[in-house]
Chain A
Amino acid sequence: DQQVKQNSPSLSVQEGRISILNCDYTNSMFDYFLWYKKYPAEGPTFLISISSIKDKNEDGRFTVFLNKSAKHLSLHIVPSQPGDSAVYFCAAGPSGPGNAGGTSYGKLTFGQGTILTVHP
């Protein structure tokens, strides 16, 4: 049962254009969402997050949008640069104690990742 899904395994974009990466989730207890970027043989690097009280969060070229009713979030990168080429993971979790006596707090569930390639 995959609670966080990234349905596009890969995305190819021209430099300077917008990259849009998508993520869907099923667990209604999730109210904290993050995007990570990962290069081969390295650990993921935190990019941007959003909590369920907001529908948009911006940080420079990166914007995350959250549609709670659709259980969908997206990451927009504009303008895209060749250095953005990497695997992007979305992750989701409960921001509070959750429904398991507090033991679920801090746990994140990750999607399968989307490989973004930005062509010069």
Chain B
Amino acid sequence: DGGITQSPKYLFRKEGQNVTLSCEQNLNHDAMYWYRQDPGQGLRLIYYSQIVNDFQKGDIAEGYSVSREKKESFPLTVTSAQKNPTAFYLCASSAGRINQPQHFGDGTRLSIL
């Protein structure tokens, strides 16, 4: 089955640690995205990539980093510079062509110990 896989589903981080969230897709989509969801809020865009080896900052990129070395993979690193990392993180992908919806993985919930 084609889809987007995020792992792990739950992740705990100690203060001062970097942590990397995995996102893999087998939909052959060009574009991939990372969002953050906080309680009572919509999805806010962290980073996005329209093509391999290229990515752009979204609205809340500070304290995060990404890479896009392969078409199917778009890992997100939450660095120690992110002051409030506890949130639900969602990865999405789309064909990247006009009027193509984004499809989402099931998310990773990150908590600070």
Contact = CB atoms under 8 A, between A and B. Distances in A.
A59 interface: no
Nearest to A115: B40
A43 B94 CA distance: 14
Contact of A107 (B58, B90, B104, B105): B58
B106 A107 contact: no
Contacts of B6: 43
Chain A interface size, under 10 / 10 to 19 / 20 to 34 / 35 or more? 20 to 34
B53 interface: no
A106 B94 contact: yes
B113 interface: no
Contacts of B112: none
A72 B89 CA distance: 28
Given A34-B101, A51-B99, A110-B42, A42 B58 contact: no
Nearest to A31: B99
Contacts of B43: 44, 89, 91, 110
A46 B101 contact: yes
B42 A106 contact: no
Which of B48, B94, B102 is packed against the most chain A CB atoms within 10 Å?
Answer: B102
A64 interface: no
B107 A108 contact: no
B56 interface: yes
Interface residues of B, number: 29
Contacts of A96: 98
B61 interface: no
B78 interface: no
A7 B31 CA distance: 30
A92 B4 CA distance: 22
Given A41-B109, A42-B107, A108 B102 contact: yes
Contacts of A42: 106-107
B63 interface: no
Interface in B34-80: 35, 40-45, 48, 50, 56, 58
A27 to B, nearest CB: 13
Contacts of A107: 45, 48, 58
Interface in B1-34: 4, 6, 31, 33
